[in-house]
Amino acid sequence: MRYIWRNKEAAMVITVEVDRDTDRRLAELSARTGKSKAEHAAEMLKYGAEEVEDYYGALEVSQRIERGEEKVYSLDEVMHDLGLER
């Protein structure tokens, strides 16, 4: 399926291919909300991009930890540094 949605803020137009199940879900969402499938696809890309960015940011930190490039503190160390007792 091809979705094109343009608005005043659109920076670019892309073509996205989705499987039948995703198309069905977009159609159902569109029917419930009155928004077009393309509008929902654009929202999914926007918010999905944030999720993917968060994932790769966490992955980068995890890799730095594994390589010994990132300092990790235990709960006891943090509590001690803050003057707190458990």
Which pLDDT tens digit goes with each residue over 12-58?
777 888 999 999 999 999 999 999 998 898 889 889 999 999 999 99
Q: Rounded to whole angstroms, how far apart are CA atoms 65 and 54?
A: 17
Residue 68 has a pLDDT of 96
Q: Is it the case that residue 86 has pLDDT exceeding 80? A: no
Closest CA to 38 of 19, 11, 20, 14: 14
- Plot region of 33 (φ>0 → left; ψ -120 to 50 → alpha; else → beta): alpha
- DSSP code of 9? T
pTM, two decimal places: 0.56
Close Cβ partners of 54 (under 8 Å, ≥ 6 residues apart): none
